[in-house]
Chains A and B, each alone.
Chain A
């Protein structure tokens, strides 16, 4: 036992997620769940709601998500929360090492959460990839799939429906894989339910640490 592990025993309560952020998280998770279930039913994997209903719900949920996502984009830029998603390689390997080995030895997390830096470098990469790449691709391919009959009018006649459908399907598998890992990762907090609790009430019990380091916060143009 070294000093670091001894420190890990002390925890503090931190307010991590604002009300809108939590709302958006749960709204998005609900939509993703609905879209996955209805999407895979439309795909022909199983029969639950019937093709017609599954297809209709999938479309409504998809359109709803597009609109809701616009609010999220607005939120993330007006609040400056986008800074939380700026990727960094610093301590990235340490975090990877932690999840591969350290976590089994009871070591402390190399980059504990703080209000100003609530995502560790690995999370930043994953969530940036999700919010800036995977989900937009899913929304774009889904919207195109949905608007197939208008392609010719929009000058998109060169698009191939099987390709758009394949991209949308690949995205769905990626989202499903993310969901599997994500659901597991929320049990790796200070306690099994610590992360979940944070996403419900905003407060999370995290390991005490002096302060976040400069590299974790993207510099503002003027001092805040």
Chain B
């Protein structure tokens, strides 16, 4: 009974107390923990979708005229955007040549760059240039100065219906056409509809090429694939449709069609300027928005930013939704089943063997490789001699622990085995794609003929002798930034066994590194102490017993 009587007053006291506590506690939405410097400003700079342009393109007369081809649309665009084609002509999106590379050794897909996927575009243009932002790069006679050859639509149309034909040298299909590579029918575009839909590029525009590099979904980058069309927050904390829902251009800010980002050996940014210091700085680096001390004051991770790239901790794995290609062995290509080319699917649902291409290895949730990196990636050219006795690095991150601009950064390391000239010691360009009757490998399955044709059309010498060499190719891992709760734990690097930093030298890493001499002497001293007190203790016990006895 007594309990019953005191209960209401006790409960009231508890409620009153809770009220006091609630009043005293800081409101998490208003104040909360101290925000990291620059956070508020960064959020302002990137807030919400809104209309950025003052024009409705469906109301423009120029876009209502009948169109039969891409160049006709481009001409209409240029009737207002007078400088657009000239701007585009200066970008790497158009030239496929690194403007910073020396004229005697131009680098880029359109020049002497080579990879360990389909190796080179030379002789394979109509297939490869389906991802060129132009119309008709059929071979080396393409006129790079023609303004009407610029494809405005592939980057700016927003209906999602505009598709270039995969083997059309950048042109969409003129009539419904089946592409044998994927068996899909490609329809000609509704030119007026796509032309009137234009706006700022979305994830789908950029993704149309960049998610499918290497000839298919998820093949190349590991951190860019079709799962990034509509990623969730867990896959990419910035681009997640349930998160910040960024488009690519939020970070790849653009001036006069020059898109911010690394171009071969030219870093995306040489100055680490945060928006808090310059509100017009490109937002291409993490530090642009997050500053060099992005964590709460006093958090140790702030002390890591001088040595460790943000991506190293915040992208724990790449290829988290779709598996990505990790190895491509051309040397096994050409096997037939019942006299016919065939494909074999692996456990992840992607082909592990293809007569046209050889053996593949696909991996999902891949832990990146780590290298010192200052934003520059240097590469071999098709003219450079290689040492076939060990795996050839086709490209490699530049950086060192002594360089204050270098950080430890994550990479996808793609292994390959591809043809090289055993006499000239250079990597070789295979002519892969071509019409029936051509020398193309995918027609005749004759390596020598395909290499002969490829090198001839690339304007490079071929001795006629070839073999296959192991190669590596790096991609910086910078997309698929995970939410902070999924960041790499301290112990994954600060550990002696199989840590993420196992291959990184030039930095003292507690938990991994120790002075081995001190270590041995130290344990010897501790052991000697134990032995000493042990012997002494036994001696005392014995002498006492003897005395008592």
B518 A44 Cβ-Cβ under 8 A: no
Interface size on A, residues (CB 8 A): 33
| Residue A143 at the chain B interface, CB threshold 8 Å | no
14 pairs, CB–CB < 8 Å, chain A vs chain B:
A43-B510, A44-B494, A50-B490, A51-B495, A149-B306, A165-B515, A169-B515, A169-B522, A170-B518, A170-B522, A176-B522, A176-B526, A184-B536, A188-B540
Flag if A55 contacts B300 (CB, 8 Å). yes
Could you mark each residue 140-184 of chain A with 1 if its beta carbon is under 8 Å from any beta carbon of chain B, else 0? 000000001100000000000110011001101110110011011
- Contact surface of A with B, Cβ cutoff 8 Å: 42-44, 47, 50-52, 55, 99, 103-106, 148-149, 161-162, 165-166, 169-170, 172-174, 176-177, 180-181, 183-185, 187-188
Q: How far is the CB of B163 from chain A (nearest CB, A)?
A: 48
User: Which residues of chain B have a CB within 8 Å of any CB of chain A?
Assistant: 300, 303, 306, 489-491, 494-496, 508, 510-515, 518-519, 521-523, 525-526, 528-530, 532-533, 536-537, 539-540, 543-544, 547
Given A51-B495, A149-B303, A181-B532, CB of A44 within 8 Å of CB of B511: yes
Contact B514–A51 (Cβ < 8 Å): no
B533: chain A residues within 8 A (beta carbon): 180-181, 183-185
- Evaluate contact between B514 and A44: CB separation under 8 angstroms: yes
In the complex, residue of chain A having the shortest beta-carbon distance to the beta carbon of B512: A44
Report the Cα distance A79→B122, complex, angstroms: 88
Give which listed residue, B495, B523, B526, B543, contacts A44 with CB less than 8 A: B495
Q: Which single residue of chain A is at the shortest CB-CB distance from B536?
A: A184
Contacts of A47 in B (CB 8 A): 491
Other A-B pairs beyond A43-B511, A44-B496, A185-B533, 12, CB < 8 Å: A52-B489, A55-B510, A103-B540, A104-B543, A149-B306, A169-B515, A177-B525, A180-B530, A180-B533, A184-B536, A184-B537, A188-B540
For the complex, give the distance between the alpha carbons of A103 and B495 in Å. 46
Assembly CA distance A161 to B490 (angstroms): 19
A residues near B490, Cβ cutoff 8 Å: 50-52, 55
Q: Contact: A174 with B525, CB < 8 Å?
A: yes
Least CB distance, B497 to chain A, in whole angstroms: 9
Q: Provide the main secondary structure of the chain A interface.
A: helix
In the complex the two chains form, is A173's CB within 8 Å of B521's CB? yes
Closest CB of chain B to A164's CB: distance in Å? Answer: 9
Among A106, A180, A188: residue with most chain B CB under 10 A:
A180
Cβ–Cβ contact B515 & A173, under 8 A: no
Q: Give the chain B neighbours of A52 by CB distance below 8 A.
A: 489-491
Task: Give the shortest distance, in Å, between A154 (CB) and chain B (any CB).
Answer: 14
Q: A51-B494, A55-B300 are in contact. Are A173 and B525 (CB under 8 A)?
A: yes
Asked if B491 and A106 sit within 8 Å, CB to CB, the answer is: no
Q: A51-B491, A170-B518 are in contact. Are A42 and B525 (CB under 8 A)?
A: no
